[in-house]
Structures are given as C-alpha cells and as structure tokens.
Structure 1
C-alpha cells in the first residue's frame, strides 16, 4: 500500500510495490502493467508520480514499453558473478538453464597484427575465427567472435565449436585454463549484432573482450562477446 504520511517519496513506494509484485510472481514476464490512470485512481496519487515510478523501473530493466501498446514486465536478467573464470555453457548449466550455440561462421584466417600481438603469434599465423550465437532456453543472449591458435588446437571442428570451447581446449591439450584478462564496457548494437541478438539496432549491449591463457601462461583464446543488456547483468562483491 501507499502511505502518504511516510517520509519515503510516493513514487519510490509505488516503485517498490511494483518490484515486489514482480519478485513474488504476481506480475510475470510479459504481463501488461495497469495504466497510469488506473494506478492514479487506485492509490489516489498523481499520474506524474506514477510515471516517475514506472520510468525508474524501465531504466533498470524490470519493465519495458511498446509504443501504442503499453508497459510490460521484462524477462528477468541473468546475473553473472564476476568471480572465477567460466564459459557461457558452464555458467548457464550451473543455473540449470538449457543452453546451445549456433555457429554462424567457422573459418581459418591469418592473424592480423592485433590478434598476433594479443596471442603471442606471428602476423599471418593461422587462427580459427569462430562466430557464434549463444542461446539460453532458445533465446539469443550473446554473440561471440572467438580466435584460437590453429596450430595449437589442430583438428577443431565446427561441431565441437558448437559446444563448450573451454572444455575442448582443456581436453585436447590436457591442460587446465588458468586465467584471463577481461574488459567490460557499454555499447550499442550495430546491424549485425542486432540481427543475431533479435534486438533493435542501437539497443544497449555489454561488450566484453577477453584474453584467456592456460595455467602455464600460453594464450589460447581472444574473444569479443556482445551480451544483451536487457537480459544479462554482471555482479561483483567488494569488501574494503
């Protein structure tokens, strides 16, 4: 309920009320929210206050708008803890989520100067270039472009690339993956990314670049991953 005598702003109380309805399942993904007028009449508050509360929930990804149709409950974001090095497949399977990969391109190309420098190769050394759409419960979650040293991982197939590449690397080389350097930044989907992720061009995305090494320091992967910002978020616990 809304308590108008509370020191908490009314828009914040309504925001928390809608959040609780979503978290308890009273409002489920895809459900349409009541109109501003309905909220206003139900709680005897201004439509501007309702709009402020709904805008906050749209901004944090719990709700989304469709022009001419209304405001709806968004699918819950998958939360990834930024502790430990796991593949997309391992991460989803650990949550009990069915995952799959659609390999849209599988080629051997010659390393350019940047790839060679990052992977301690010579320019024009052969590398696998693998482009995959990563799906969770048949929904596109990420689009990845991965480079792997072809000489080191000789024999990799398109079929194997549709599974966990990390698992393949560790089994093929009989050596564990040790560490990775990773950067995360906000970006906007270009034409290709939007098409593969089934989102509108310019939609917010999370751009991740990762350089992965075996336990002995040998570079084995250079990857660029683009995650849907409406379905994925990263979490890190920090202590002082």
Structure 2
C-alpha cells in the first residue's frame, strides 16, 4: 500500500488508501480508524506523516475527530430544507434518527433589556434559560440556548426539556406555534463550542438565531444555536419572480 520509492509523497499515498477504503465501503460512516501509532507501526512510517494524512482528510470532511475517542469516518451531512418551522427533534425523527439531549443549564432568570425586547416582554420578567447539547445517533450536532417567557409557558421542568419542547407546548399546553424568523451566519467555534460539540479548535460552525411566534401573536422563544458545519447543511428552493 505504501511505496517508499514512489515520487508520490507518503502522506498522500496514505490519504488515497483511506479514501479507497471509504469508497469501497470497507470503512463505513461512524467506523473508527486505527490510531496514528498503529498506522505508523503497520506501514513503518512516521507518526507525523500519518498525522498529516489524517488532518488533510479531516479538512476534506471525510473524517472527523472526537477528543479522547479517536478519528471516525464521516457520514453524509444532514440536509435541512428551509421551508418550514420544525424542532430539532422533529427534523431528526423525520429522518428515522434517534435523538437525545444533554441538559447543561436550566433556570428561571430575569430578562435583560435585549432579551426583553426580543421576546416582547417587560424588562426583568421571568424567562426560562435552557442550554442543551442536541444529539443525533449520540453524535453532538448543536449547542442550543433557548429563552422562553415563564409567564407565557407554565410548568416547564428539567425532565420536559430532555425531550421535545414543541411537543409539550402544543400537545400539553394546547398552544399553537405558527411562524418564526431565523438568521444563519458562519463563525469560528468558541472554546465552549469546541468542548461540547467535540470538534477541532477554530473549526467552522453555523450560528443560528430564531424567534418563534404563537397563533395569538405572542413571542414564544428566542433560540440561539451553534451547529457543526461539518455535519449540517441548509438548503432552500428559490423562485424567480
């Protein structure tokens, strides 16, 4: 597999070998690769050479790293069409995927001036502040911060936010969610996002902020999410008028 007499750099030969394994389905999405040490010992090459090959494939989004666990084969990016208002849980379940949440923070706090303006409530009014890691098939996909007026939506508990908030709001409280406005922009991951999303330092992410409304025109929530850019992409159909 490695020809040290070839004019082709050894790291590039290793890259092509791993690519071929992925294309032949010998390595499947989610499979873990051998360690740098194992590659180096198997093919009698330096770990620096192995690291360069692996890093290039990570940059090409064929592989991804999880700190403390290893390097894995990347599956296809999750594609979400921007044509309707759905929750993360609803979107993943529509794909037949198992979802879960890891609750990082949950408390009622007074709304500051900016948040009060966004939620159309008085300053210092009580607001649920919820921070969760959203996972699909146990892979961290997004770090999500949600703010909901506590006087509008009663009875939210830590147990409820482990599941679908939209389902609780619509089915249990009989409140109808109707529309929202969402902004998406690119950014570089912060230290917090690197830790919780298990991505590389300075990795690109997709920042999204959404404001959601109820049928009675009350603002239901402001959601600020950081999505892994290596696992997610958004699509929209455009019509020329």
Q: Taking structure 1 as the reference length, what is the TM-score of the superposition?
A: 0.73
Query: How much does 1:31 deviate?
Result: 7.8
Separation in 2, partners of 1:187, 1:130 = 22
Question: Is 1:167 the counterpart of 2:154 in the alignment?
Answer: no
Contact 1:178 1:216 in 2 (8 A): no
Per the alignment, do residues 102 and 58 of structure 1 end up closer, same or farther by CA in structure 2, a change over 3 Å counting?
closer
Residues 54-113 of structure 1: CA deviation (Å, up to 9, x unaligned) = x7x866634569xxxxx9852221111111110000000000000001111100000011
Structure 1 match to 2:105: 105
Structure 1 match to 2:184: 184
Contact 1:153 1:172 in 2 (8 A): no
Separation in 1, partners of 2:198, 2:64 = 16
Per the alignment, do residues 105 and 83 of structure 1 end up closer, same or farther by CA in structure 2, a change over 3 Å counting?
same
Structure 1 match to 2:156: 156
Query: How much does 1:168 deviate?
Result: 1.4
Per the alignment, do residues 63 and 140 of structure 1 end up closer, same or farther by CA in structure 2, a change over 3 Å counting?
closer
Q: SS of 1:158's equivalent?
A: coil
Describe how 1:3-152 pairs up with structure 2 within 5 A. Answer: 25=25, 28-29=28-29, 30=31, 61-62=61-62, 73-152=73-152
Separation in 2, partners of 1:24, 1:211 = 44
Per the alignment, do residues 21 and 182 of structure 1 end up closer, same or farther by CA in structure 2, a change over 3 Å counting?
farther
Structure 1 match to 2:234: 234
Per the alignment, do residues 160 and 142 of structure 1 end up closer, same or farther by CA in structure 2, a change over 3 Å counting?
same
Q: Which runs of 5+ in 2 are unaligned?
A: 1-17, 34-55, 66-70
Separation in 1, partners of 2:62, 2:126 = 44
Contact 1:128 1:147 in 2 (8 A): yes
* C-alpha RMSD over aligned residues: 2.8
Q: SS of 2:114's equivalent?
A: helix
Separation in 2, partners of 1:83, 1:23 = 33
Query: How much does 1:239 deviate?
Result: 2.7
Q: SS of 1:96's equivalent?
A: coil
Residues 160-214 of structure 1: CA deviation (Å, up to 9, x unaligned) = 0111111112134312100010000011111111111111231111100000001
Question: Is 1:199 the counterpart of 2:205 in the alignment?
Answer: no
Q: Which runs of 5+ in 1 are unaligned?
A: 1-17, 33-54, 66-70
Q: SS of 2:200's equivalent?
A: coil
Which deviates more, 99-108 or 21-30? Answer: 21-30
